[in-house]
Amino acid sequence: MPKVVVAEARRQDVAQAVLRVVGRDGLESASLRNVAQEAGLAIGSVRHYFAGQTELMIFTMEELRRRIDNRIRRHAEQLLEPDAGIDRRVRTEELLAEFLPLDDTRREEAVLWTAFVTAAGTRPEFRPCARRMHDEMRELIARVLHEAQKSGGIPAGLDIELETLRLAALLDGLAFGGVLYPGGVAPDAARDILRRHLQSFTVPAHLR
């Protein structure tokens, strides 16, 4: 196996160790020493793959962003494929629900992402990745709404820019609330809130 591939795989292994430390003990505990211990490596080995903690943390944040983005994009591809047989309303709800901590996997990701985004307030090196995720989320929502408008599922005169911001704010609120106050809004309730929001500007089938 090429050395470059091995090095990248080892960097990803170390990043996963960072995420385990952050999820268990918080971002402030993700020192090089603690991460090396979590990964089962000597601290010198970690330094071989990363110049320092800042590079390691940025790499880890990007890995987390890619993990979340890949999962969401799989749903987006299904929704946006030209297939008259799919139920776009259900697919849209399922896609947008991927932004919410509705199961163990999504809750873990939401907790980790919240830790990094919160830290970005005082750690400027985290801000480009946080901003990219922010922008990509809104671009995806806008695309979904534009497609729904083209198919007649939502009114032609709907302000897509405004509705994108409104829907993003709803998803952000439910996600952060789910992280900060576990159990405050049950997964079924969060889904119902999202569903009702989407229903508030959809066009009934008999009027399309």
Q: Is residue 120 predicted with pLDDT exceeding 70? A: yes
- The owner of tokens 């309303």 is 89
| Residue 23 belongs to a domain | yes
Output the pTM of the full model: 0.86
The enclosing domain of 78 has a CATH number of 1.10.357.10
Q: Which domain holds residue 177?
A: 61-207
Give the model confidence (pLDDT) of 45-62 as tens digits.
Answer: 999 999 999 999 999 999
pLDDT at 74: 81
How many domains does the chain divide into? Answer: 2
Residue 185 and residue 134 share a domain: yes
The enclosing domain of 17 has a CATH number of 1.10.10.60
Last residue of a domain, one of 50, 71, 90: 50
Residues 6+ apart with CB under 8 A from 137: 99, 168, 171
Last residue of a domain, one of 50, 74, 89: 50
Residue 167 and residue 124 share a domain: yes
Q: Hey, which of 71-80, 186-195, 199-208 has the most confident mean pLDDT?
A: 186-195
Tokens of 107: 């809750």
Dist CA 200 CA 196 (whole Å): 6
Residue 92 and residue 194 share a domain: yes
